[in-house]
Amino acid sequence: MIMAMVTVFAAQPPVMAATLPVAYSGVLALTHATLHPDTAPAGANDWGCRPAGAHPRPVVLLHGTVENMTVNWFTLSPLLRNQGYCVFAVNFGQEDRPRLGLPGSSRPGGTAPVDRSAGELAVFVDRVLAATGAGEVDLVGHSQGGMMPRHYLRFLGGAGKVGALVGLAPPNHGTTVLGLSRLPGVPELLTAVAGQAVRDQLAGSPFLRRLNAGGDTVPGVRYTVVASRLDEVVTPYTSAFLSGPDVTNIVVQDHCPLDTSEHLALSYDANALHFVTNALDPAHATPVTCRPTLPVNGG
């Protein structure tokens, strides 16, 4: 009798989680983050999640400079969870000194030196792998969060633990911040306001020279960069692009001229995030249907 009951229960299909709402809006993301600071985005950080066969690698989401997981991944986290991924997000590079930052955390993230944040990522990835039993993760990052993992991959042993790195507007080869970084005193001012991480991301910084010496990529990892021609933070926008094997560089406006998303809006841009989901599951990629979007808000 007991064995029969076990057989019946074992044969039942798993209970599907309720579909999470997905809103493509930076304005709503900021509102939510203001009301619910220091919380994981919807769908993220279920430490009991076990990757399904269709998506064997958990996805780790990494925010940008002076940002945080609550606001940055308001849209993508529930989108990926609805697609069956185990999703994890983390605030990294937080410092005790008060700094300028978006709503969503008592301490803005991504202000510490980038190599220090890469060390935090290494610890977090190991925690995700241990909890889920997966052999690798995929990484998705916005801005600094799309570039910082490259230090982890190259110098901290991450290459064997990562299947793919997808970056939304990452400053892979540095930014001039619309040319302002070349003016006397501006790098020092930016560092005072937003931390050493900003100095590390300026074009020609010692950090970036070391990171990019000998090539942009490491073997065994697939790279995708999604950039906007209208980016006002990572300038020129082409500095986001990578060179090397297993690299795909995408400009959203090449596929959707109606897309007016700039740097901040890419996290809430349906076109850009479709490219992200295609990059995470290239075997089941689907055509991106062009949707008009707005600066800052996406759509």
Q: Is residue 15 part of a domain?
A: no
Q: Is the pLDDT of residue 4 over 70?
A: no
pLDDT given at position 10: 32
What is the pLDDT at residue 228?
98
Sequence letter at residue 44? A
**Residues 97-108, mean pLDDT to the nearest whole number:** 81
Question: What pLDDT is attached to residue 1?
Answer: 32
Strands (E), the chain: 59-62, 87-90, 137-142, 162-168, 222-227, 247-251
**How high is the pLDDT of residue 14?**
32
Average pLDDT value for residue range 183-210: 84
pLDDT at 122: 98
Residue 272 inside a domain? The answer is: yes
Per-residue pLDDT, averaged over 100-128, amounts to 94
Give me the chain's average pLDDT, please: 91
Q: Is residue 60 part of a domain?
A: yes
Query: Does the structure show a pLDDT above 80 at 5?
Result: no
The reported pLDDT for the residue numbered 180 is 66
The predicted pLDDT at position 52 comes to 87
Question: Pairing mode, if any, of strands 162-168 and 59-62?
Answer: unpaired
CATH number of the domain enclosing 172: 3.40.50.1820
Mean pLDDT of 76-96: 96
- Number of Cβ within 10 Å of residue 247's Cβ equals 16
How many separate helices (H) and strands (E) can be counted in the chain? 12, 6
pLDDT category, 114, cuts 50, 70, 90? Answer: very high
Are the beta carbons of 169 and 175 closer than 8 angstroms?
no
Please check whether residue 289 lies inside any domain of the structure. Answer: no
Phi, psi (deg, nearest 5) at residue 223: -120, 135
pLDDT tens-digit profile of 23-82?
A: 999 999 999 999 999 999 999 999 999 998 899 999 999 999 999 999 999 999 999 999
Mean pLDDT across the stretch 173-202?
80
Q: HSE on the CB side for 101, CA within 13 Å?
A: 32
pLDDT band at 17 (very low <50, low <70, confident <90, very high): low
Average pLDDT over every residue of 212-227: 97
Give the pLDDT of residue 181.
64
Q: Is residue 215 part of a domain?
A: yes
Domain hosting residue 239, numbered range: 21-284
List strands edge to edge, sheet with 59-62.
87-90, 59-62, 137-142, 162-168, 222-227, 247-251
State pLDDT tens for residues 238-278. 999 999 999 999 999 999 999 999 999 999 999 999 999 99
Q: Is 231 domain-assigned?
A: yes
Decide if 190 is inside a domain. Answer: yes
**Residue 64: inside a domain, yes or no?**
yes
Predicted confidence band of residue 183 (pLDDT cuts 50, 70, 90): low
Number of compact structural domains in the chain: 1
More confident residue, 296 or 7: 296
